[in-house]
């Protein structure tokens, strides 16, 4: 069953030099219970996709066009009061900084209880019980219910933010770089926790990150974004074994492989183009070793190159080489 269907989403930001086309014509769908990784270098539009789906884009940004159906309801045209009800209850976020989700002046328990009471018609006793269960689920002892956010370490605060995101049983959770800034060990623990919860509770999660090995280790499918567009979309095994788009290959080649220490790590030369004046043709043109004349003039569409494997590239079969 499809839980989220994004169609032709475009979101721009006004700047002094004109509008930055941060997200251009992005389409993808997600099945219920799936974990989809949204990956790409910084500035490729991942957060803008998330914020657009959540309808949190504010001036100087604007959603130019598109649909985002969550279980059949278009989040992009839903009325404001309807949207307020959907947030947390149907769609919630684990933000990059837990402090964006937590209020420093309330205890963590009270905040989660409050969130449940606002969105659900339950008694306070039920909300307290559920909060205790949620805290336990994310590895926090219930005797810490009355502690304030500043009494927790970064990793523990992120666990509280996860409990908060889960508090109203949402249909979809978006985790936007929610482990960035934590030490490597804590990052791994938080990601393992998110994965475990996804499996145990059948959650649908969009995991946004620039960390390809982390995303491929836990996600069922991966969407690779470059300069505001999805350039490749497939299940994780297909991405790893039959990676097609030159940008995706570039990301894989730029990633160390712990099981193969002899692998040569090669970063992609150049940088993401200026999205105020993006290239007319393929947005990866300047950095692509396989570019052809047509790529300068025309923009490749995302096409199905194998069953359920999509790539936006003019080369035969989508891309030009396969990772062994
Ligand atoms: N408030 C803003 N004003 C102007 N440009 C913005 C704003 N927010 C994001 N952008 C631009 O939109 C593009 C995509 O940004 P973002 O969605 O944050 O990418 P990512 O999450 O992949 O790093 C970038 O070029 C960024 O500079
Ligand atoms: S369309 Fe052309 S420039 Fe773009 S990724 Fe494919 S080969 Fe490279
Ligand atoms: Mg971001």
pLDDT value for 115: 93
281 CA → ligand 2 middle, Å: 9
Asked if pLDDT for residue 319 goes beyond 60, the answer is: no
The three-state secondary structure class of 287 is: helix
Q: What is the pLDDT of residue 204?
A: 97
pLDDT greater than 90 at residue 23: yes
Q: Is 53 a pocket residue for ligand 1 (Cβ < 6 Å)?
A: no
- Mutation test residue for ligand 1: of 11, 38, 43, the one with most atoms within 8 Å of CB: 43
Count Cβ atoms below 10 Å from residue 105 Cβ, excluding itself. 9
**Backbone φ/ψ region at 111: left (φ over 0), alpha (ψ -120 to 50), beta:** alpha
Give pLDDT, residue 317: 60
Q: What is the pLDDT of residue 285?
A: 97
pTM: 0.95
Give yes or no for residue 319 CB within 6 A of ligand 1.
Answer: no
Q: pLDDT by residue (tens digit) across 29-40? A: 999 999 999 999
Q: In this structure, what DSSP letter does residue 214 have?
A: H
Instruction: Tell me 54's DSSP state.
Output: T
172-176 β-sheet, strand order: 91-94, 172-176, 204-209, 35-39, 221-226, 229-235, 309-311, 303-306
Is 167's C-beta closer than 6 angstroms to any atom of ligand 1? no
pLDDT above 60: residue 320: no
Ligand with minimal distance to 40 CA: 1
Residue 219 phi, psi (nearest 5): -90, 150
Tell me if 173 CB under 6 Å of ligand 1: no
User: Which range, of 81-90, 106-115, 185-194, averages the lowest pLDDT?
Assistant: 81-90
Burial environment of residue 231 by CB neighbours within 10 A (0 to 12, 13 to 18, 19 or more):
buried
> Is the confidence at residue 233, as pLDDT, over 90?
yes
Sign of CA dihedral 246, 249, 251, 253: negative
Is residue 246 lining ligand 2, measured as CB closer than 6 Å? yes
String of DSSP letters for 126-169: HHHHHHHHHHHHTT--GGGTT--GGGS-HHHHHHHHHHHHHTT-
Cβ of 40 closer than 6 Å to ligand 1, yes or no, is yes
All residues at 6 or more sequence positions from 237 whose CB lies less than 8 Å from its CB, including other chains: none
Give me the mean pLDDT over the 141-148 stretch.
96
pLDDT tens profile 70-84? 999 999 999 999 998
In whole angstroms, give the CA distance from residue 145 to residue 135.
8
List domains and CATH numbers for the chain.
Answer: 2-90+170-311 (3.40.50.300)
User: Residue 318: its pLDDT value, please?
Assistant: 54
Residues, Cβ < 5 Å to ion ligand 3:
46-47
Q: E strands within the chain?
A: 2-15, 18-31, 35-39, 61-70, 73-74, 91-94, 172-176, 204-209, 221-226, 229-235, 303-306, 309-311
More confident residue, 324 or 208: 208
């Amino acid at each position: 069953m499809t839980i989220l269907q994004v169609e032709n989403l475009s979101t721009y930001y006004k700047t002094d030099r004109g509008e930055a086309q941060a997200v251009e014509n992005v389409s993808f769908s997600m099945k219920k219970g799936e974990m989809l990784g949204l990956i790409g270098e910084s500035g490729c539009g991942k957060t803008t996709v998330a914020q657009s789906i959540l309808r949190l884009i504010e001036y100087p940004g604007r959603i130019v066009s598109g649909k985002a159906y969550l279980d059949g309801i278009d989040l992009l045209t839903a009325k404001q009061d309807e949207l307020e009800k959907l947030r947390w209850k149907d769609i919630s976020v684990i933000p990059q900084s837990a402090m964006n989700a937590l209020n420093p002046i309330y205890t963590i328990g009270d905040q989660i209880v409050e969130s449940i009471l606002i969105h659900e018609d339950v008694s306070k006793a039920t909300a307290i019980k559920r909060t205790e269960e949620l805290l336990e689920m994310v590895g926090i002892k219930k005797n810490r219910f009355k502690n304030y956010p500043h009494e927790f370490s970064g990793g523990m605060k992120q666990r509280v933010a996860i409990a908060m995101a889960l508090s109203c049983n949402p249909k979809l959770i978006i985790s936007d770089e929610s482990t960035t800034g934590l030490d490597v060990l804590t990052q791994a623990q938080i990601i393992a926790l998110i994965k475990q919860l996804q499996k145990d509770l059948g959650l649908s999660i969009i995991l946004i990150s620039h960390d390809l090995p982390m995303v491929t280790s836990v996600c069922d499918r991966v969407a690779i974004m470059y300069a505001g567009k999805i350039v490749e979309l497939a299940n994780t095994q297909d991405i790893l074994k039959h990676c097609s788009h030159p940008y995706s290959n570039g990301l894989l080649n730029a990633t160390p492989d712990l099981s193969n220490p002899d692998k040569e790590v090669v970063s992609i030369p150049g940088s993401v183009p200026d999205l105020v004046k993006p290239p007319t043709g393929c947005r990866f043109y300047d950095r692509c070793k396989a570019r052809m004349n047509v790529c300068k003039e025309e923009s490749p569409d995302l096409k199905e190159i194998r069953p359920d494997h999509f790539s936006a590239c003019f080369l035969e079969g989508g891309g030009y080489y396969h990772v062994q």
